[in-house]
Amino acid sequence: GAGVSQSPSNKVTEKGKDVELRCDPISGHTALYWYRQSLGQGLEFLIYFQGNSAPDKSGLPSDRFSAERTGGSVSTLTIQRTQQEDSAVYLCASSADRGAWQPQHFGDGTRLSIL
């Protein structure tokens, strides 16, 4: 069956440019999470969507980062005016329902490199 799909798998861009990263969650999953993973590091929470509720944006590192989720399905993470410290792997995960005890299913991530 289809898992979580992320695109692009790799993105190289120049400092100062805007980037958009896409996540297609598992069909029917109501919860969607974005994480950032820097080289050799753990997973840093960025943002959480649950159904039609207002997203939990508490992990976004600056106002250059934003995300939306249209129709309760596909999500886009946007980074404006990229900086070199934004270079990382951005991971998306979805789960069947709200609640941290719901297993999260991850995509393979987008590897973002800022030159």
Q: Report in angstroms how near the CB of residue 54 gets to another protein at its nearest.
A: 12
User: 68 or 108: whose CB is closer to another protein?
Assistant: 108
End-to-end CA gap in the chain: 36
Q: Report in angstroms how near the CB of residue 21 gets to another protein at its nearest.
A: 13
Q: Does 103 bind another protein (CB under 8 A)?
A: yes
DSSP state of 56: B
Which one of 24, 67, 109, 114 is in contact with another protein (CB under 8 A)?
A: 109
The reply to whether omega before 25 is within 30° of 0 (cis) is no
Size of residue set near another protein by CB under 8 A? 25
| CA nearest to 59, candidates 81, 39, 83, 42 | 42
Q: Which of positions 71-100 make contact with another protein (CB under 8 A)?
A: 91, 93, 98-100
Distance (Å, whole) CA 97 – CA 28: 9
